Structure 1
Amino acid sequence: MSKQVISTTQAPGAIGPYSQAVQIGNLLFASGQLGLIPETGQLAEGVEAQTAQALNNVKAILSEAGLGLEHVVKTTVFLADMNDFAKVNEIYGGFFSQPYPARSAVQVARLPKDGLVEIEVIAAK
C-alpha cells in the first residue's frame, strides 16, 4: 500500500518537514491544526476562535481527501491550558455529531506559535 499526501491551500501550509495529512488505504492521518487563519497565517483571537479555526482547517484537509467530519474516528486535542477545556469542548461539540469520535485531550507545555489549542484527527472512509 502506498501513502498519498493530502494538501490544500484552504488550510495553513506545513511549517516544517511534515505533510498536512497522509492517506494510506482507507485511513487518513491529519497533522495537528492550530487556529491559524490560512489567508493571513495569524492565529485567531482567543481559545474559542482558535478552536473553531483549527476545526475549520481540519475540515478543509478532510474535504481535499473527499471526506468530512463524519469520517473522523479519533481526535487528539492539545491545550496550552487545561482550564480552557470547557470552552474548547463547547466549540468542539458544535462541529461533531453522534456517534462522536474517540478523543484524548491533554495539556502541553507549549504549542507552536504560542497557540492555545491544536487538534489532530484520524479519519476512515
Structure 2
Amino acid sequence: MAITRYGVEGGQGTGGQHLPFSRAVEAGGWLYVSGQTPMIDGEVVERGIVDQSRIAIDNCLKIMKEAGYGLEHVVHAKVVLTDARYFQSFNKVFKEIFGEHPPARICLVADLVVDCKVEVDVTCYKP
C-alpha cells in the first residue's frame, strides 16, 4: 500500500514557525487531514467564531481538493472549540458546509496552542 504525504515540507505557522508535519496523509483510500485553524498565510484571522469556523473548514477543503477528495468523502470530523458557547454558531457553519454529506463528528472544548477559537480536522475515504 502506497502512502502519499501532502505538504511534507511543512507549512508556516504563526510568527513564521515551521510546522514539522504533513498537511495530510493518504493511504489505502483514506485521507487524514491535519488539524486546521483559521489561518491565512501563516497568520490567524482575528474574527468571530463564525468566520473562524468557515476559514478552518475551508482550509481542510483546500487540502482535500489537492488530494482529489470532496465533501462526499468526509467520514469523520474532529472539532476543538475554546469555549462551549461557540457550539451553536459552529454547528450552523458546519451544517451549511456539510449539509447533504454530514460526517460522523466529535466536538470538544479545550485550549489550543494557537490563539484562535476553533480547530478542525477531517478523515476522508475514497475507494
Compute the TM-score of the two structures, normalised by the length of structure 1: 0.87
1:42 alignment counterpart: 44
Q: Secondary structure at the match of 1:113?
A: coil
1:22 to 17, 25, 41: 25
Q: Does the aligned pair in 1 maintain the 2:44–2:116 contact within 8 Å?
A: no
Opposite residue 11 of structure 2, the aligned amino acid is G
Q: Does the aligned pair in 2 maintain the 1:14–1:20 contact within 8 Å?
A: no
The 1:115/1:7 distance shift into structure 2, 3 A limit, reads same
Separation in structure 2 between the aligned mates of residue 64 and residue 7 of structure 1, nearest angstrom: 10
Taking the TM superposition and a 5 Å limit, the aligned residue runs for 1:94-109 are 94-108=96-110
Separation in structure 1 between the aligned mates of residue 104 and residue 121 of structure 2, nearest angstrom: 12
Q: Does the aligned pair in 2 maintain the 1:76–1:120 contact within 8 Å?
A: yes
Structure 1: which 5+ residue stretches go unaligned? none
Structure 2: which 5+ residue stretches go unaligned? 14-18
Separation in structure 1 between the aligned mates of residue 40 and residue 92 of structure 2, nearest angstrom: 20
Compute the TM-score of the two structures, normalised by the length of structure 2: 0.86
2:53 maps to 1:56:
no
Separation in structure 1 between the aligned mates of residue 105 and residue 58 of structure 2, nearest angstrom: 17
Q: CA deviation at 1:79?
A: 0.6
2:16 alignment counterpart: none
Q: Secondary structure at the match of 2:53?
A: helix
Separation in structure 1 between the aligned mates of residue 63 and residue 78 of structure 2, nearest angstrom: 16
Q: Tell me the alpha carbon deviations over residues 61-119 of structure 1, each in whole angstroms, 9 at most, x when there is no partner.
A: 000001111110000000100111000000111110234100000001x1132110000
Separation in structure 2 between the aligned mates of residue 27 and residue 76 of structure 1, nearest angstrom: 16
Identity of aligned residues (%): 34
